[in-house]
Amino acid sequence: MDKPVIALKVDVDTFVGTRDGVPNLLAILERFGIRATFYFSMGPDNSGKAIRRIFRPGFLKKMFRTKAPSMFGLRTLLSGTILPPPIIAAKLPHILKETERAGHVVGIHCWDHVKWHDYLPWFPKPVTAMELGKASALYQEVLGHRALTTAAPGWTVSADSLEVQDAMHLSYCSDCRGTHPFYPVMDGRTFRTLQIPTTWPTMDELLGENGITPETINDHYLTLLKPGLNVHTIHTEFEGMAMAPVFTDLLARLTDRGVRFVTLAEVAEEAASSAPGAPLAMAEIAGRAMPVAVQGNQPYETNNVN
């Protein structure tokens, strides 16, 4: 049987998550000699409007009733509401550079996380193209080369967004939930950019469900470890900040088990020529308020809590 392999996909959603969470994560990953794949929100941080939507309604209230301001900081909670939103990658270019210098893969999460997550289905195609176009242009300006990968905010895609990604000649994308790398078929159209789905539920989906707490969540994650590829999406705002000790413990336990860590670029290289086609559609899954893109034709387990 294949040994378990894990690709860590890091979503960077906010200004504070970029400024504080990323350096924390870089230090943690360096300690374990792990290379990961980071997806940066490049444009305005409108997360004051977004925090409540990035994560499941009730989640923050339930878990962090009194801690939300200290977890995210007032700056984040107000950003894009009464404070003008900072352009994240323009304000913090050194963070993207540092991430790349440390050997990690740097990709694009989005231009405006809130806008994409809330309105993608209603975007005219040029708006979809412009969101990714603006993100790509700033990425190139900061890192001096073009982006080869993107990962959609909130796992929200449309046939238009897949078409734009094809046009960008990306090597692979990680926009959905599912089981194995594949070429997406959506609305009857087949796309040529490889999709590498997230296979594990995220921390915010699990916490508070079925009695799972920060103390027991890693036990649960270890039960999800499957032979072959596992893709785990983490958020700098959680695993890089308040949940950093829990995440560090997870890495220690995975490393003890001899689990090997790979980047999504390495996964893509191996899967590109052999990956099958599979349907991709927006669907409801446990633990998320809004539908997410889910790979079809395979049994898809969500929270895996029995």
CB of residue 113 to Zn ion, shortest distance in Å:
6
Element (H, E) at 165: helix 159-167
Count of residues touching Zn ion (by CB under 5 A)? 3
Q: What are phi and psi of 62, to 5 degrees?
A: -70, -45
CB of residue 186 to Zn ion, shortest distance in Å:
20
CA pair distance 257, 76, nearest whole angstrom: 37
Binding of Zn ion by 43 (CB under 5 A): no
Q: How many residues does the chain have?
A: 306
Stretch that binds Zn ion, among 9-17, 21-29, 238-246, 288-296 (CB under 5 A): 9-17
Binding of Zn ion by 13 (CB under 5 A): yes
Binding of Zn ion by 175 (CB under 5 A): no
CB of residue 43 to Zn ion, shortest distance in Å:
13
CB of residue 253 to Zn ion, shortest distance in Å:
25
Q: Which residues contact 83 (CB under 8 A, 6 or more apart)?
A: 48, 75
* Eight-state DSSP code of residue 44: B
Of the pair 11, 20, the CB lying nearest Zn ion is at 11
CB of residue 211 to Zn ion, shortest distance in Å:
26
CA dihedral 164→168→174→180, nearest 10 degrees, is 100
Binding of Zn ion by 131 (CB under 5 A): no
Helix axes 244-256, 217-224, angle to 10 degrees: 40
- Which of 9, 11, 178, 230 is close enough to bind Zn ion by CB under 5 A? 11
Of the pair 47, 295, the CB lying nearest Zn ion is at 47
CA pair distance 175, 181, nearest whole angstrom: 11
Q: Which two tokens stand for residue 4?
A: 């378990």
Binding of Zn ion by 153 (CB under 5 A): yes
Residue in the block written with tokens 């900040």: 241
Stretch that binds Zn ion, among 76-84, 92-100, 148-156, 215-223 (CB under 5 A): 148-156
CB of residue 94 to Zn ion, shortest distance in Å:
21
> Which 189-208 residues touch Zn ion, going by CB under 5 A?
none
Radius of gyration of the chain (CA): 18
The contact set with Zn ion (CB under 5 A) reads 11, 13, 153
